[in-house]
Amino acid sequence: MNHPTPEELARDALGLPAPAPLAEHLAACPACRDRRDALRALSARLADAYDGAEAPADGRARLLAALSRSTAPSRPTPPPLVPFWKDPIMRRRLFAGGAAASLAIVATALWLATGPRPAFAMSQVAEAVRAARSYQYSLTMRTPQGAGEPRAVMTSRCLWLAPGSTRCETSVIDAEGRTTPDMTEIQPAGAPGIDVYPRQKLFARTKPQLGRVSPFIRVDALGSYSGVADRDLGEKTIAGVRARGFSLDPRKIEPDMQPDSAMEVWADVATHRPVLVKLTIRDASGPMVKELDDFRWDVPIDPKLFETTPPQGYTDATPPEKSPEEIAGIIAASLRTFAEFSGGHYPRVDMLYGDVTDDELARLAGLEPKPQRPPGPDAAETYRKFWDARSGFGWINSLLVDNADASYHGKTVGPKDADKVLMRWRRDDGRDQVIYGDLRTAVEAPDRP
Amino acid sequence: MIGNEATTDAELVARTLAGDREAFGDLYDRYARLVLAIVRREAPGRSAHDLTQECFLRAYKGLGGLQAPDRFGAWLVGVARRVALDHRRSSRRDRHRFVEAEALDVRAGFDRASAQDAEELALLMRRVAELPERERLAIDAFYLQDQDAARTAELLRLSRSGTYALLARALARLASAMGLDGPEETGP
């Protein structure tokens, strides 16, 4: 080769990857070797100079003193690196979206649990749940604590008012058992809602939930589910009420849920209304238990509780809107990553849950469950892809929840189906945002098949 | 921060958000030298130590808005550049005086080196200060991150190949400015 340029020599001097002919040339050309060595020496001098550059000795102490006078940083939604039950998607699913859905779960579960037992008059129970004009219940979430027993980490009081307005006030519980109000989620039926964060004095506007929070919520579709209780748990007294319990596999109700989940439903033998519902979700972090109890039926609920005016003095922390094109791009990139690691298919579900799909992708990519850091330099790129893909799955879930016209067809459409619609949703401008099987995105008139 | 490298930036960010200020102190230890180098160059004439404090305070207050905590370093570099730019914009003083002040400041930092050595290092750092902004940022990040080019790429939000090219160009330019490049040779 010709003599290398100074920049090529600098590459070598810096120890950066350089083309093989450069090494050959250097081996044969003393002049270039000298120039390279001079650059190396210069680099070493720079390293010396920077090595001598100390951070101010009292800098950290000064900073910490200033921080103690400053307001603590806060974020309107939990950071991505938190236990999965704090994951925004998970929370919506288990708490807020769940406010209405949970009772539908109960209705479905009871129907399933007791369908074949006419003596229990189950159809009347499901009917009673569906006929309720309002209800309230407490929801407690327990999560595993290392190797120890699961501990209650969150508790909510949830209200539901026909035709489907929900309000959930959630508190976090610390290791000493102290509860601190954490957030209030208000979602009026078919209208925009609000999340309020009292600790940070922030609020965020939420979209109307017009899509499928989960199949449970479609009470009119109850009849389309099939299955029976796996086990009759007998009768016992719960909070002074005689109740009969059943256990069943919740995947009979929601096929896209984590495997190995379990559900117990205890209903009042006299009124057939649920008294206690226990849902155990097992995933990579261990079993998480969600308990619904302290039910109150058809008690008056002030409609003002579903108003979405932010409290005085609170700051608006609603995240900026992303354009449909931008969202389509994020989703397509995530699905591309998924197909890459799955050997050529997209998540094969009807309802996509961020946490479930994250777990599956981690497994496909050969990462540890819920990886928190790159497992090593050679897997850093895999980890980065996994990390980046998560937001797309979150978007798919949000769109399916918020958008009545959203659909996702990962079960039937794969990367080779260039002309089949993989995902579609209605944009605010009335047109449809479409992602095809080959991940091409398009904007189309809504009536195109 | 020897012995603390196993803790990721993302973990420190999460702990800070959970109310642990010492975790943010650890992030300070990790990045203070780089931030100091950036503000010193980009806003010469200002107290670099005060500006460094300001950067970290701003980062602390804005930490809640950080979308990808594992990219804290790159984000902080952005914060430092904005802080420096704000101060440079508001500054109307003569640029030459900044360079002089800068040289003195740098020399004061090298008390471990001998006087002659310090003189020479100060000259070298002045040449670094004269590099185009992207190149000098690359040099700062590279030498303050244990000459880890991959890490430098992350901090600069550039591709690795782009970062390599930037570093090589910067070093070649420095060599030329220091009179180290011999006559350009052509032919085999």
Domain ranges of chain B: 1-92, 93-128, 131-177
What is the interface pTM, i.e. ipTM, of the complex?
0.74
Q: What share of chain A is helix, strand, coil (3-state, %, to 5)?
A: 35, 25, 35
The pLDDT of B76-93, averaged and rounded, is: 72
Q: How far apart are CA A82 and CA A280, in angstroms?
A: 20
Instruction: Considering only the beta carbons, identify the residue of A15, A48, A55 that sits closest to B36.
Output: A55
B172 touches chain A (CB under 8 A): yes
Is residue B44 within 8 Å of B99, Cβ to Cβ?
A: yes
What average pLDDT does chain B have?
Answer: 75
Cβ separation B171–A70 shorter than 8 A:
no
pLDDT tens, position by position, A119-160: 343 455 556 666 778 888 888 888 776 656 678 888 888 888
B32 touches chain A (CB under 8 A): yes
More confident residue, A332 or A100: A332
The pLDDT of A3-24, averaged and rounded, is: 87
- A330 pLDDT more than 80: yes
Both tokens assigned to A445? 């008139």
The pLDDT of A181-206, averaged and rounded, is: 85
pLDDT tens, position by position, A128-139: 666 778 888 888
What average pLDDT does chain A have?
Answer: 76
Cβ-Cβ contacts under 8 Å, A72 against chain B: 19
Q: How far apart are CA A268 and CA A266, in angstroms?
A: 7
Which range, A338-342, B50-54, B70-74, has the best average confidence (pLDDT)?
A: A338-342
Which range, A67-81, A208-222, A234-248, A324-338, has the best average confidence (pLDDT)?
A: A324-338
The pLDDT of A326-346, averaged and rounded, is: 93
Give, in order, the Cα–Cα distances in Å from B155 to each of A15, A300, A348, A388: 19, 57, 37, 17
pLDDT score recorded for residue A357: 87
Hey, how many other C-beta atoms are within 10 angstroms of the C-beta on A118? 9
Percent with pLDDT over 90 in chain A: 18
Closest CA to A213 of A427, A38, A2, A397: A397
pLDDT score recorded for residue A213: 47
Closest CA to A2 of B181, B186, B124, B177: B186
Q: How far apart are CA A18 and CA A427, in angstroms?
A: 49
- Assign A339 a pLDDT band (cuts: 50, 70, 90): very high
Instruction: Considering only the beta carbons, identify the residue of B17, B21, B113 that sits closest to A64.
Output: B21
pLDDT score recorded for residue B44: 67
Instruction: Considering only the beta carbons, identify the residue of A54, A63, A81 that sits closest to B53.
Output: A63
Q: Which residue of A has its CA nearest to B49?
A: A56
A60 touches chain B (CB under 8 A): yes
pLDDT score recorded for residue A374: 64
pLDDT score recorded for residue A337: 94
Among A140-149, A314-323, B113-122, name the one with the lowest average pLDDT. B113-122
- A107 pLDDT more than 80: no
Cβ separation B110–A62 shorter than 8 A:
no
The pLDDT of B43-62, averaged and rounded, is: 82
pLDDT score recorded for residue A39: 92
The pLDDT of B127-148, averaged and rounded, is: 87
Among A262-276, A372-386, B53-67, name the one with the lowest average pLDDT. A372-386
Q: How far apart are CA B146 and CA B140, in angstroms?
A: 11
pLDDT score recorded for residue A244: 83
Cβ-Cβ contacts under 8 Å, B126 against chain A: none
pLDDT score recorded for residue A91: 44
- A410 pLDDT more than 90: yes
Cβ-Cβ contacts under 8 Å, B68 against chain A: 80, 387
Which range, A299-313, A381-395, B101-115, has the best average confidence (pLDDT)?
A: A299-313
Hey, how many other C-beta atoms are within 10 angstroms of the C-beta on B51? 22
The pLDDT of A422-448, averaged and rounded, is: 87
A74 touches chain B (CB under 8 A): yes
Instruction: Considering only the beta carbons, identify the residue of B29, B56, B124 that sits closest to A46.
Output: B124
Among A23-27, A49-53, A179-183, A194-198, name the one with the lowest average pLDDT. A49-53
- A112 pLDDT more than 60: no
The pLDDT of A29-54, averaged and rounded, is: 86
Q: How far apart are CA A333 and CA A327, in angstroms?
A: 10
Closest CA to A159 of A303, A311, A308, A309: A303
Is residue A390 within 8 Å of A341, Cβ to Cβ?
A: no
Hey, how many other C-beta atoms are within 10 angstroms of the C-beta on A26? 19
More confident residue, B58 or A149: B58
pLDDT score recorded for residue A182: 82
Q: How far apart are CA B155 and CA A244, in angstroms?
A: 60
pLDDT score recorded for residue A441: 93
Strand partners, A151: A143
> Closest Cα of chain A to B99: distance in Å?
17
- A228 pLDDT more than 60: no
Cβ separation A50–B32 shorter than 8 A:
no
Q: Class for domain B1-92, per CATH?
A: mainly alpha
Q: Which residue of A has its CA nearest to B8?
A: A373
Give, in order, the Cα–Cα distances in Å from A250 to each of A200, A229, A271, A443, B182: 36, 10, 24, 37, 76
Q: What are phi and psi of B103, to 5 degrees?
A: -60, -45
- B98 pLDDT more than 90: no
Q: How far apart are CA A165 and CA B59, in angstroms?
A: 39
A49 touches chain B (CB under 8 A): yes
Which residues does B12 contact at the CB level (< 8 Å), separation at least 6?
A: B23, B24, B26, B27, B30, B72
A11 touches chain B (CB under 8 A): yes
Q: Where are the domains of chain A?
A: 6-52, 84-316, 324-444
- Assign A342 a pLDDT band (cuts: 50, 70, 90): very high
pLDDT tens, position by position, B7-26: 888 888 888 888 888 999 99
Which range, A13-27, A241-255, A325-339, B121-135, has the best average confidence (pLDDT)?
A: A325-339
Amino acid at A22: L
pLDDT score recorded for residue A125: 54
- B184 pLDDT more than 70: no
Both tokens assigned to B10? 């993302």
B149 touches chain A (CB under 8 A): yes
Which range, A169-183, A429-443, B27-41, B105-119, has the best average confidence (pLDDT)?
A: A429-443
Q: Which CATH architecture fits A84-316?
A: Clam (2.50)
> Closest Cα of chain A to B31: distance in Å?
9
- B106 pLDDT more than 50: no
